[in-house]
Structure 1
Amino acid sequence: MTTKLSARSLDAITTAARPAYDRSGLTAGIVHFGVGNFHRAHQAVYLDDLFATGAGHDWAIVGAGVRDTDEAMRQQLMAQDWLTTVVEQEAEASSARITGAMIDYLRPGDAAAIIARLADPAIRIVSLTITEGGYYIDPASQQFDPTHPDIAWDARNIDSPKTVFGLILAGLVRRRQSGIQPFTVMSCDNIPGNGHVTANAVVGLAELVDPALAQWVRDSVAFPNGMVDRITPATSDREKQVLRDEYGIEDNWPVFCESFRQWVLEDNFPTGRPALEQVGVQFVPDVAPYEHMKIRILNGGHATIAYPAGLLDIHFVHEAMEHPLVGAFLTKVETEEIIPVVPPVPGTDLLEYLALCQRRFANPKIGDTIRRLALDGSNRQPKFIIPSALDRVKRERKATGLSLVSALWCRYCYGVTDSGAEIAPNDPNWDRLTAQARLARTDPRAWLAMRDIYGELSDSTIFAGSFGTWLDRLWSTGTAATLEHYLASDE
């Protein structure tokens, strides 16, 4: 017997914690773009915790999106009154809770309705989880790309924009015209300096519309940087069935995640903010050391294990950590090459942080997949791996392991595992990457020639030589033998 999740059925659900507050008393204070799994396991959970204390009930979330797939999510959540079941899983225990911090979800594509809500004085924060690839960043320069066709469209049609940044700018324009203080724009994506990156996108678009508007945005709108962390896999039929079998709850789109979560924020919210420090959010003057640590060590660690595991036909992340070669590869690359170029973080031992990451990766309950970690390498490698390699090259230090990570990514993008199994497209630029990987099989320089991805690193003859040696070895001896060679050497 299962219970279909809805506001009406909440009292019948006894296997999961329920919202400890009256949702009818919530009012909107945040518009959030990108109502995916991570947002619902992170920001929405922190707010749910805050509301349970009796505080912050005027900071409820209104969802928003711009993609066609956002409408599917909206329909699924609307059918259950915007409620979400969040299942926290660890090796020794699991628990479920139902969160109710979201109270509405604007229809994707309805620019007029979204802009109107953004212009509402009650909305004081606009937050985003739109993935690393959603910021119109040139991969090599890591700067906003004002020439992108989507941005060019919005610049010409700012009253009916199509992008998140066009909608944000249109909402700010409306508030400016009405004499309403601007909302704060808060990125929750895994991007170095995510507040700065978001500001560059909004200001960059404003420059195309009106330089005076761009200056007003610079002077008037806050873009706090933040570091967010929680491992949250995609939802599949597996998770839905586990929820039905173990908790008796039928949820259209539940979220499964680890119990660990972290949020570090710069306290720069001129129009106010919820008292999230009461529920574990850490407010600091400078978030850069924390995000640098997380992006290089945790996200870089994910990228390090993703491609060898994918080539070895390993499905789950915890299985990769159990594989002696993959697990040892991660440890060696992190301790010898990544951590030595990560600046100190207040009150944090970086080796202890690595050990925490390794325990989290090894969680057998989480069900995180190698394919998810390998997704969108053309956007993730320039943020998670290439900067560490470039730092080492500039300091005239070896980047042997990091060049092997790049060679493994190239080999993966060829589209076939070591066993001959086909790798389905796993990147927005898959066709291009596959073509370059096939050229690189005989000419490794073809891969590093993608300067929009590798930037200055393309010019390093030492890195190129190491990369080429590893790629040749991967093709001649296979992934396992290559890892064995790397681990046995002092390279």
Structure 2
Amino acid sequence: MATPLSLATLASLPATVAKPGYARGSLSAGILHFGVGNFHRAHQAMYLDRLFNRGQSLDWALIGAGVFEGERRGRDILQAQDWLTTLVEQEADHSEARVLGSMIDYLPPADAPAIIARMSQRDIRIVSLTITEGGYFLDAKDRFDPTHPAIRADAASPEAPKTAFGMMIRALKARRNAGIPPFTVMCCDNIPHNGAVTRNALCGLARLSDPDFAEWIAANVAFPNAMVDRITPATTDRERAMLAADFGVADGWPVFCEGYTQWVLEDHFPLGRPAFDAVGAQFVADVAPFELMKLRILNGGHAVIAYPAGLMDIHFVHEAMAHPLVRGFLRKIEETEILPQVPPVPDTDLPAYLDLIERRFSNPKIGDTIRRLCLDGSNRQPKFIIPTLRDALASGGGFNGLALECALWARYCAGVTDSGQIIEPNDPNWDRLVPVAEQARRRPQAWLEQDAIYGDLAGHAGFAARFAHWLNALWRDGTAATLTRYLQQG
């Protein structure tokens, strides 16, 4: 019988489960965090738990926050567990479970007055975010979109904000009026230049209703850039059952993730910060090289394996990596086309990093799905594949495999696998992508004419020809035969 997780039951949990080595009463708040999801708890909350177990940074505990009513269900689960989370780190040969106690409160989601009041207090020195890319209100060119309905609504009623950025603006004004220095805004989302993106969103919203205060934010608030990395799938009944069976813990919302984690940050925290570097994080002067490495090798690698695996009805990522054609495609395109477009990274061996990525993708314990990797290609392709392709074209580098990757995505968006299985909608723009993919079956150039994704690449004769070659091959011969032909080429 699994033991329900709570403060009262910690001592009775099985010895195989690591527990907090600190008392909850020894902690005090320092960070308010928007977006209490799986990645936040597997990453930032985990780093803080490590610190607290060392007896360090005890005044930096987490307060959770959210802007959507739908987040109440997760809050209710965590509240019943006294804000505790079971984190299960999984590698191929072992798994470890630990209870995290680094969050000490979670404000009711969408309760703007309560959230603003808490951010306005002096002890909150960092406001952090994992709100997904869509939460930053970016347009097709990754610029802040002042016309987004949620932004327009907050700009029209700044005293009653609904977005995280509107709430932060109200809290920053309250702090300024009270003579309290502004908190640091720390983005933990997987977005290029995430600190700058967050600054643009906050200042952009403020500028719509109070341009002078927008300038004050730009001059006085710190937005350190960061690179975050840990493969963390969604929680399902599968994970809950595994936790109960393997570790004897009943947790309504556990987090399963890989053992590997990385966090690289710019050290710009005017009101101080937790000693994250004492527990594995890196502080650097410039995050950009690390960020570009991850975006191109890891995120780009996910895109490389996603669509051929999806078209061949492969369910899990580790199953895709066990398929010789998918694994061979990843290795060849990474070595010959992606790595050559990644500049040197301080103290990093890029081929060794690729080996690490390959091992991480092959982890059979994670349960990450191909469908998740295929999700939202219309937003991910322009970030993870197209920049590498552009650099390759500009430098005279190889792009044959990248053209095949683009063709595989186009073929996937036709909505049916090689075996005839229907692919359920898997992109916010699915209804628009499917008819274009069907047009491209007859005229491949139609796919490249999506300017928001490919820009002027449709006019590059060499790339357009290779794309058409591979898309025609996929429709004519299928994915397996096409990958075989690519791998046999010199």
- TM-score interval (norm. to shorter): over 0.9
Query: How many Å separate the matches in 2 of 1:436 and 1:26?
Result: 55
Residue equivalent to 2:322: 322
Letter in 2 for 1:258: E
Cα deviation, residue 237, structure 1 = 0.9
Query: How many Å separate the matches in 1 of 2:437 and 2:160?
Result: 40
Aligned residue runs from structure 1 range 183-202, under 5 A = 183-202=183-202
Residue equivalent to 1:368: 368
Check conservation: 1:264, 1:283, Cα contact below 8 A. yes
Letter in 2 for 1:453: I
Residue equivalent to 2:93: 92
Query: How many Å separate the matches in 2 of 1:454 and 1:165?
Result: 30
Query: How many Å separate the matches in 2 of 1:214 and 1:134?
Result: 19
Q: Give 5+ residue unaligned stretches, structure 1.
A: none
Cα deviation, residue 196, structure 1 = 0.9
1:107 and 2:143 equivalent? no
Cα deviation, residue 458, structure 1 = 4.1
Query: How many Å separate the matches in 1 of 2:23 and 2:365?
Result: 32
SS at match of 2:7: coil
Query: How many Å separate the matches in 1 of 2:8 and 2:370?
Result: 38
Query: How many Å separate the matches in 2 of 1:88 and 1:227?
Result: 20
The structure 1 segments of at least 4 consecutive aligned residues displaced by more than 4 Å after TM superposition are none
Query: How many Å separate the matches in 2 of 1:127 and 1:69?
Result: 20
Query: How many Å separate the matches in 1 of 2:407 and 2:112?
Result: 43
Query: How many Å separate the matches in 1 of 2:456 and 2:176?
Result: 41
Query: How many Å separate the matches in 1 of 2:361 and 2:211?
Result: 46
1:239 and 2:239 equivalent? yes
TM-score scaled by structure 1? 0.97
Cα deviation, residue 435, structure 1 = 2.6
TM-score scaled by structure 2? 0.97
Residue equivalent to 2:125: 124
Check conservation: 1:227, 1:287, Cα contact below 8 A. yes
Cα deviation, residue 326, structure 1 = 0.2
Query: How many Å separate the matches in 2 of 1:268 and 1:79?
Result: 36
Residue equivalent to 1:414: 414
Cα deviation, residue 254, structure 1 = 0.5
Residue equivalent to 1:452: 452
Query: How many Å separate the matches in 1 of 2:360 and 2:120?
Result: 41
Query: How many Å separate the matches in 1 of 2:70 and 2:425?
Result: 18
Letter in 2 for 1:414: A
Letter in 1 for 2:252: N
Check conservation: 2:336, 2:398, Cα contact below 8 A. no
Residue equivalent to 1:463: 463
SS at match of 2:18: coil
Aligned residue runs from structure 1 range 24-423, under 5 A = 24-139=25-140, 141-423=141-423
Letter in 1 for 2:352: E
Residue equivalent to 1:478: 478
SS at match of 2:105: strand
Cα deviation, residue 461, structure 1 = 3.1
Letter in 1 for 2:199: A
Check conservation: 1:44, 1:101, Cα contact below 8 A. yes
Letter in 2 for 1:32: H
Query: How many Å separate the matches in 2 of 1:144 and 1:273?
Result: 28
Q: Give 5+ residue unaligned stretches, structure 2.
A: none
- What are the superposed Cα offsets for residues 90-122 of structure 1, whole Å, 9 maximum, x if unpaired? 111111000010111122221111111111111
Check conservation: 1:133, 1:379, Cα contact below 8 A. no
Cα deviation, residue 175, structure 1 = 1.7
Cα deviation, residue 199, structure 1 = 0.9
Cα deviation, residue 454, structure 1 = 2.3
Check conservation: 1:312, 1:418, Cα contact below 8 A. yes
SS at match of 1:8: helix
Check conservation: 1:411, 1:471, Cα contact below 8 A. yes
Cα deviation, residue 233, structure 1 = 1.0
Query: How many Å separate the matches in 2 of 1:89 and 1:69?
Result: 29
SS at match of 1:202: helix
Bigger mean CA deviation after superposition, 463-472 or 57-66: 463-472
Cα deviation, residue 156, structure 1 = 1.0
SS at match of 2:99: strand
Letter in 2 for 1:201: A
Check conservation: 1:184, 1:222, Cα contact below 8 A. yes
Check conservation: 1:304, 1:405, Cα contact below 8 A. yes
Cα deviation, residue 163, structure 1 = 1.8
Cα deviation, residue 444, structure 1 = 2.1
- What are the superposed Cα offsets for residues 146-181 of structure 1, whole Å, 9 maximum, x if unpaired? 111111111111222222222222222222222221
SS at match of 1:35: coil
SS at match of 2:442: coil
Query: How many Å separate the matches in 1 of 2:106 and 2:455?
Result: 39
Cα deviation, residue 480, structure 1 = 0.7
Cα deviation, residue 354, structure 1 = 0.2
Cα deviation, residue 328, structure 1 = 0.4
Query: How many Å separate the matches in 2 of 1:105 and 1:425?
Result: 33
Check conservation: 2:5, 2:250, Cα contact below 8 A. yes
Query: How many Å separate the matches in 2 of 1:6 and 1:244?
Result: 14
Check conservation: 1:29, 1:61, Cα contact below 8 A. yes
Query: How many Å separate the matches in 1 of 2:21 and 2:365?
Result: 27
| Closer/same/farther in 2, CA of residues 450 and 107 from structure 1, 3 Å limit | farther
Q: How many residues are matched?
A: 489
Query: How many Å separate the matches in 2 of 1:295 and 1:159?
Result: 38
Query: How many Å separate the matches in 2 of 1:133 and 1:383?
Result: 14
Check conservation: 1:390, 1:456, Cα contact below 8 A. no
Bigger mean CA deviation after superposition, 386-395 or 438-447: 438-447
Question: CA RMSD for the aligned pairs?
Answer: 1.3
Cα deviation, residue 230, structure 1 = 0.9
